[in-house]
Amino acid sequence: MVRERPVETENEVDAHGAFVRQKNRFTTPFGDKEGELPVEAGRYRLIWAKGCNWSNRSSIAIELLGLEDVVSVNLVDGGDHFAKYGWAFDYDEGGKDPILGVKYLSELYYNTDPNYQGRCTVPALVDIKTKKVVNNDYHHLSNYFEKDFKAFHKNKIDLYPEELRDEIDTFNEWLFHNINNGVYRCFFAQSVEAYEEAYNDFFNGLDVLEERLSQKRFLFGDYVTDSDIRFYVTLARFDAHYYRNLGPIKHRIVDYPNIWAYARDLYEIPAFKHNTYFHYYAEEDKVPNTIFQSFNARFWKTYDFEGLWSTPQNRKALSQTPERKFKEEK
C-alpha cells in the first residue's frame, strides 16, 4: 500500500504559525515485560536516511557500539518521488529492500497500521519476521541500543552512563527544542514571529554550548555520550545544508571556535565519519536557470569537506584522559 506523503506545512503548524513536529507513532520500549519488544540479535532492521539527522543518531550509535551484526541497517533516499511518496529504497537493486522486499518505507508503516495518517519517518526499526515498524521513536531509539542491547555490544563503551542518565535526558530535551529541532522550527515557520522565536532559540543555544565546550572536551566531560551524537548530527549539516533555508544566518559553525574544534574532534572517530555524507548534504536539488547560483550549486561536487573537517584541533588539552574518548562499560 502506498499513499501520498502528508506535508509538514499543511499538517504540523499551529495557529501561531509555529512548526509543531508530529509525535512518533511507534514508541514501544524494549524489555522482558509483557507488551515490550524482545531484545534479540538478527530480528530487527534499522532504516535510516543520509539527510535525516534524527535517524543518523541511531546509525552512528550502532557502529560505535559494534551492533552491525545484531541490528542490520539499510538506507532509503528521497529522490524525485519524495514530495509525493516519501522515502524509498533507491540504493538497492531493483529499488527494493533485499530483506523486507518493499520499495517504499511507507509500505512498512501501512503494513503495521493500515489507518496510519502521519508522515512515514526515519529512523524506523522494523521487525524482520513481521515486516512491521516496531519503533520510530528517535527520542529514545539510540538509548535503547546503548542500554538494552548492552549484552550484544562488541565495543564495550558506555555512551549512556547510568549515573548521568537523568542529566543526559534533561539536556537532550533542551537540545531537541533549541538545536536539533530549532533549525526545522525556522524552516517550517509560517509567521515571522514563530520564525524569530525559533531563530533566537537556536543561536542563543549555540552561545550556551560554545561556553560549555570552553571547559569540557565533550558535553559531559572527558567522554563521548549520547548527547554528543545528537549535537554532532546538526553540526554536520549546518554549514553544508541547513543554512540555505534558514534566512540571514548569524554565524556559521566554523565561527564558533570551541564548537568547531569539538565537531572536528568527533569527526575523527570512524563511526562519525563513516555516517556523515557532506556532499550529499550540500548537493543542490535543482540548479536555477540564472547566472547567479548558490555556493552549493557551484561547488558542492568539488569542495573538500573532509579536508576542512580534518583540520587539526587540540581538544585533548581539556581532557584528563586525552588519548581516550570513551568511558568503558562496567
Annotated binding residue at 311?
no
Annotated binding residue at 54?
no
Identify the three-state secondary structure at position 75: strand
Q: Which of 52, 186, 223, 267 is catalytic?
A: 52
52 noted as active-site residue: yes
Annotated binding residue at 186?
no
Distances (CA, A) of 6 to 32, 173, 183: 35, 26, 20
Strand-pair partners of 157 = 328
- List of E strands, the chain: 44-49, 71-76, 124-127, 132-135
Cis upstream peptide for 322 (omega within 30°): no
Inter-axis angle of helices 165-175 and 226-238, nearest 10: 20
Annotated binding residue at 119?
yes
- Whole-number Å distance between alpha carbons of 38 and 142: 16
- Whole-number Å distance between alpha carbons of 110 and 120: 9
Q: Which of 44, 144, 184, 232 is catalytic?
A: 184
Annotated binding residue at 121?
yes
Q: Binding site for glutathione: which residues?
A: 87, 119-122
Catalytic residue numbers? 52, 184
Residues in binding site: 87, 119-122
